[in-house]
Each structure stands twice: as C-alpha cells, then as structure tokens.
Amino acid sequence: MSLKEWKNWKHITKLDPDRLNTEEIISTVINSGTDAIIIGGTLNVTREKVEKLISKIVKYKKNIPIILEPSNPECVTFTNIDYLFIPSVLNTKSTKWISKAIVQWIKDERKKSVEIPWNKVVGEAYIVLNPKSSVAKLTEADTDLTVDDVVAYAIYAERYLSLPIIYIEYSGIFGNPEFVRAVSENIVNAKLFYGGGINSRDKALTMSKYATIVVGNVVYEDLNKYLETII
C-alpha cells in the first residue's frame, strides 16, 4: 500500500467506536465503495472500543485502508491500521489541542519504550466550525470565523506548518460550501477534507467539488441514504 494513497481518496467513512457498530453497518460500509474507513470519535473513546471495532472490520479481509484518528492518547493502537491521522485544532483557545496533547503522547510512548511508526502518521489541521458540536466544546474552538479567517488558517497550516491535510469540520450539520470553496482555491499542496452533515447525494456532490468528503452520522441513521453519498 502506498503511503501517499490517501491523497487520491474522494470519499471516507467515519465510524465511531462509542456507537453501536452492527454487522450490517460494517458489511455495508466495507462493500459500499468508500475509499477508506476512519475510526474516530470525540467522547468516551477507549482503546478497547477501538480495537473491538478494528477487529470487526479486518475479519472481512477486504483491501480497504483503516485509519485511526485518536481523540486521546489512551485510545491509540498501531495494530491493524494503515494510517494514524493526528489532528491539531487550529482555532482552539487552548494549546492542548494544537500541540500539548501530541507532545504528551510522544513522551508517554517514549517512557514505555514504544516506537511510534512515523511512516503511518499523517498530520491534520482541523478547523472546527459548528459551535454546538462536541468537538467544538471539548477543544474550546473559536467558531465565530469569517471566510477570510478560515482561509488564513488554511494557508498557515499548509505553508507555515506544512501539514498535509486541512480538515474543515462542521460535525453534525451541513456547512457553508463557500468556506470550503475558498479554502480549496487558496491551498496548493495540502489535501482538503470536509466533514459534517452529508446525508444525501446532493450534499455529497456539492462538497466533493472542493474536498474529500468524510461521512459519518448518516451511517447510523439510514444506510440507504449513506449509500447515496458514495461518489
């Protein structure tokens, strides 16, 4: 598997280890045509829950990339994953969610003499824009941003921090396509991801013009609608 494979993805499915991931859900997602599966959630995520979900996926022996996107260091595992996407929330009011949590994770792994597989690690610059979302509340995100603010954050992430992924996260609601379009027009090398409220083909097509779409909640609401988002 090429370590740059993720740059070619158009549709990603996000599964939350803290939700009920039935065999029907797992089977539907794996056979849907989605390009990859991200395992991640904001609240109540543990390593046990992560490993349980990974085991459900890998038993199908399908050639689908599995990404772990940890919300806390305690849920990190390196077993049976292809990538470890590490988010930094740029518009947080706390440095914990930009760098401190990552630095602490590195320190903890070093104390345990654990070698981090850096060839699997991909950094994400998160811009969180739904003030009512769990991730916005947890990370104390400043969501009162203009399109110029968001574009500036994206340019900062790409050209100053050299992060390979910029992730516009509306988490639970469908966001403003103009924000996503503006970012897509002002970045050069970074890959743009969008997540939030994609529960129909129209919404999937709208955002996929500008970004790789990440689809999550609809999986647990209506599998037929989820399948409509595959592009």
Cα torsion for 18, 24, 30, 34, to the nearest 10°?
-80
Q: What is the pLDDT of residues 127-177, one digit of tens each?
A: 999 999 999 999 999 999 999 999 999 999 999 999 999 999 999 899 999
- Pick the closest to residue 227 from 61, 25, 22 (CA basis): 25
Closest CA to 35 of 66, 78, 56: 66
Domain count for the chain: 1
Question: Token pair of 125, please?
Answer: 């610059």
Model's pTM, two decimal places? 0.94
Separation of CA 200 from chain center: 19
Count of alpha carbons within 13 Å of 222, Cβ hemisphere only?
Answer: 8
CATH classification of the domain holding 54 = 3.20.20.390
Place of tokens 């740029």: 90
pLDDT at residue 83, rounded to an integer = 96
Q: Does residue 1 register a pLDDT over 50?
A: no
Distance between CA atoms of residues 27 and 88, nearest Å = 31
Q: Is the confidence at residue 51, as pLDDT, over 70?
A: yes
Closest by CA to 142, choosing from 100, 185, 89, 208, is 89
Look up residue 170 and give its two tokens: 């509306």
pLDDT tens figures, 55-90: 999 998 778 999 999 988 788 999 999 999 999 999
Cβ proximity of 49 and 78 under 8 Å? no
The β-bridge partners of 145 are none
Range of the domain at 77: 5-228
Share of the chain above pLDDT 90, in %: 88
